[in-house]
Amino acid sequence: MANPDRPSGFVPVQYLNGTPWNGQARLYSIIATYATALYIGDPVISSGTADTNGIAGINIGAATGALRGVIVGLYDSLQATAPVGGVSVGGIGNDSIVYRPAAHANVWYASVVDDPNVLFELQEESVASQLAADQVGLNQISVSGAGNNFVSGWQLAGTTSGTAATTATLQLRLMGLAQRPAGTNTFGAFAKWLVKINTHELQSSTVGAVGF
């Protein structure tokens, strides 16, 4: 059975110690003049900006280089009354918009999973040469992709786009295939992988390794 083609960007699933991801994320801001659409599942980097409340800003990430984390929620405003000890976010005002458009007058906010120890599920792209079992444990890059007005289109690079290697500066660590019922997720095009962000803004990167 062929793997289904359903890209959705980076999906947090568990921590490095094997426990399920518990939904924890940190609030970041997106300046009103930022001219790039953002989707749930997109990887992001620090922007070097902040809103008037001092909430740090983010921009879209790149296929190479360090990442801050991954978007798991988007909001078009802060609530006027914030709870003691934190801030609340408003929902998206237009129910037909579930992403942050490239052109918008408001400062937006995003919930970002920025814990370096979270593992994400990420679909591999379809190219001439795909990743294989003997590359589990190596490092690899991601591939940018446009969102579908609902979720991210980012994917994991196959070996045609970038060779998996031990190189410490490669963005992602290949942890293995996401486990599914037999025959429903196999090596090849559109395989769903578990990856860890290797070049993370909040943690030093490491070399990849296979075998001993």
Give the tens place of pLDDT for each residue, 101-159. Answer: 998 888 999 999 999 999 999 999 999 999 999 999 999 999 999 899 889 999 999 99
- Per the prediction, the chain carries an average pLDDT of 90
Average pLDDT over residues 169-195: 96
pLDDT-derived band at 177 (thresholds 50, 70, 90) equals very high
The residues, ordered by sequence, that sit 6+ positions from 135 with a Cβ below 8 Å of its Cβ are 159, 164, 174, 210
User: Which residues have CB under 8 Å from 22's CB, separation 6+?
Assistant: none
Average pLDDT over residues 71-97: 62
Q: Which residues pair with 77 in a beta bridge?
A: 90
Residues 6+ apart with CB under 8 A from 122: 9, 10, 11, 142, 154, 155, 156, 172, 192, 193, 195
- Cβ proximity of 194 and 177 under 8 Å: yes
- Token match 């486990």: residue? 179
What pLDDT sits at residue 50?
95
The rounded radius of gyration (Å) of the Cα atoms in the chain is 17
Q: What percent of the chain has pLDDT over 90?
A: 77
